[in-house]
Amino acid sequence: MRFKQIVYWLSTIVLCGIMLYSAIVYFTKTELVKSFFENFGFPVYLVIPLAIAKTLGVIIVLWRPSNWLIEWAYAGFFFNLVLATWAHYYAGDGIAGFSLVALIALFPSYFLGKYLRD
C-alpha cells in the first residue's frame, strides 16, 4: 500500500508540475505560445483559456473536492496531452518532451488515485 501511495504522489506531482509549468508559460510568454499555436495550426485564442483550464485542473486534482470534478480534470489533461504530443510530432519536434512525460505520468496518477480513494 505504501509503495502505491509513493508512486501515486510522484506521478501526480510530475503531472501537476508539468501542467502548472505550461500554464505559467502560457500566461507569461503568451506571444511566443501563440506563434507555436499558429505553427501547429491551432487557433491562438485558445492560449489563455487553456492556461486557465490547466491551472484549475491542477487545483482540482490536488484538492479533490469531488469525484466528478476529478474525472473531468483528468479527462481534460488526457485530451490536452494527447493533442499536444501529436501536434509536436507532426510539427517535426519528435514525440519526446514534456507532453509525453506528463501523458505517461497521467495514467498511474489517475488509476492509483482511484484505487487509493476507494
pLDDT of residue 39: 87
Number of domains in the chain: 1
Q: CA-to-CA distance for 66 and 2, rounded, in angstroms?
A: 24
Q: What is the pLDDT of residues 78-94, one digit of tens each?
A: 999 999 999 888 888 77
Q: What angle do CA 71, 72, 76 make, to 5 degrees?
A: 120
pLDDT of residue 103: 96
Q: pLDDT grade, residue 95 (50/70/90)?
A: confident
Compute, in degrees rounded to 10, the torsion defined by CA atoms 74, 109, 12, 77: -20
Q: What is the pLDDT of residues 15-26, one digit of tens each?
A: 999 999 999 999
Q: CA-to-CA distance for 33 and 25, rounded, in angstroms?
A: 8
Structure-block grid coordinates of residue 91 = 510539427
Q: Could you give the C-alpha distances from 1 to 5, 10, 28, 29, 109, in angstroms and in order?
A: 6, 14, 40, 41, 15
Q: CA-to-CA distance for 58 and 54, rounded, in angstroms?
A: 6
Nearest alpha carbon to residue 84 among 40, 53, 54, 47:
40
State the residue range of the domain holding 42: 2-117
pTM confidence score: 0.93
